[in-house]
Amino acid sequence: MLGMTYTLLLMLGAIAYNVSYTGPQPYLVGNTLPIAVPWFGALGAVTISLEGVFQWSESRWNPEFNYWHLGRPLFGAVLGTIGFFLFVLIVSSSGTPPKFLENPADAAPAKDFIIYYVVAFLAGYREKTFRELIQRVTDMILKPATQSTTAPQVSFRHGGVAQSEIKFPETTEGAKDQMTIEIVNSSGVPLPTPSLTVTATNSASKGVFGLANDHVTGVNELGSNQTGTVDITFAPPAPGTYSGALSVSATSLTSPATIRVVGSARAGSEKKP
């Protein structure tokens, strides 16, 4: 009954429009939207609603869809309007914008609007399909890309714990400290011909950091989720703060994987508290 009432109201609205409006072309809301576009969207929505009523009107009727049927015309009008604007956007992107948009003052042939009415009706009729299409397009535009699981990735660990920075405890000047670092291929693909280097980030830190017991450089490849170890040495010649970087290079890495290395030294006469 509700669907038939909506259909009757839509038909009465169409008759009233055709009787009262005598313009040379369909009335354009904001000089852009033909007023019949949301009407056809609402008609498509009411049509699919009536189909559902006729198909499930017997014992299998689900009252949970009552509100769905109640709001169908408005929902269909909105989707029909969105479908119209998307279609116009696609057509305009090809370099052939609709004639009625180029100069709204000029009357466009009635046949030019038929395609927009069909698009609006289909958007309202197949609202679920149209909503899924909009969702996929929106996700493609706005959703951040996921990192490929096949891209090589390197992580640094100490004692099995992932590190964002390698920091030595305070060391006495002239002494030598070392720390074992685990180089982990945390991707799903091998890391071919890996090599390690440690560099200073300033002139004062040159030669302070070094590598020993390198079990990464020189191997054929570091397999998926495989770990190689290296000892980083810290030998400060004088009191102060020192910094460097540990880098992992491989033929499959577009740029080396790097982690900061820092350490500080105190004077030899001082004692730890």
Per-residue model confidence (pLDDT) at position 266: 92
- The answer on 246 and 204 residing in a single domain is yes
- The answer on 120 and 206 residing in a single domain is no
Per-residue model confidence (pLDDT) at position 53: 61
Looking at 85, 112, 142, which one is the last position of a domain? Answer: 142
Please state, in angstroms and rounded to a whole number, the distance separating the CA atoms of residues 131 and 79. Answer: 8
DSSP characters over 26-41: --EETTTEETHHHHHH
State which residues form the domain around 45: 2-142
Q: Is 10 inside any structural domain?
A: yes
Looking at 113, 142, 171, which one is the last position of a domain? Answer: 142
224: amino acid identity, one letter? S
Per-residue model confidence (pLDDT) at position 111: 73
Q: Is 260 inside any structural domain?
A: yes
Predicted structure pTM score = 0.46
Could you tell me if 72 and 46 are in contact, meaning their C-beta atoms sit under 8 angstroms apart?
Answer: yes
- The answer on 158 and 136 residing in a single domain is no
- The answer on 243 and 114 residing in a single domain is no
Per-residue model confidence (pLDDT) at position 145: 58
Looking at 118, 142, 166, which one is the last position of a domain? Answer: 142
- pLDDT by residue, tens only, the chain of 273 residues: 666 787 778 788 778 877 777 776 777 787 778 888 888 888 888 887 777 666 655 555 555 556 666 777 787 888 888 888 888 888 777 777 777 776 666 666 667 788 888 888 888 888 777 777 777 777 776 766 555 556 788 999 999 999 999 999 999 999 999 999 999 998 888 899 999 999 999 999 999 999 999 999 989 999 988 999 999 999 999 999 999 999 999 988 889 999 999 999 999 764 444
- The answer on 164 and 233 residing in a single domain is yes
Q: Is 149 inside any structural domain?
A: no
- The answer on 92 and 161 residing in a single domain is no
- The answer on 207 and 107 residing in a single domain is no
- The answer on 173 and 81 residing in a single domain is no
CATH of the domain at 190: 2.60.40.10
Q: Which two tokens stand for residue 10?
A: 């839509």
Please state, in angstroms and rounded to a whole number, the distance separating the CA atoms of residues 189 and 205. Answer: 35
- The answer on 18 and 133 residing in a single domain is yes
- The answer on 158 and 138 residing in a single domain is no
DSSP characters over 132-194: HHHHHHHHHHHSPPPPPTTS--EEEEETTEE-SEEEPPPEETT--EEEEEEEEE-SSS-EES-
What is the chain's percent helix, strand, coil content, to nearest 5?
Answer: 40, 25, 35
Q: How many domains does the chain have?
A: 2
Per-residue model confidence (pLDDT) at position 226: 92
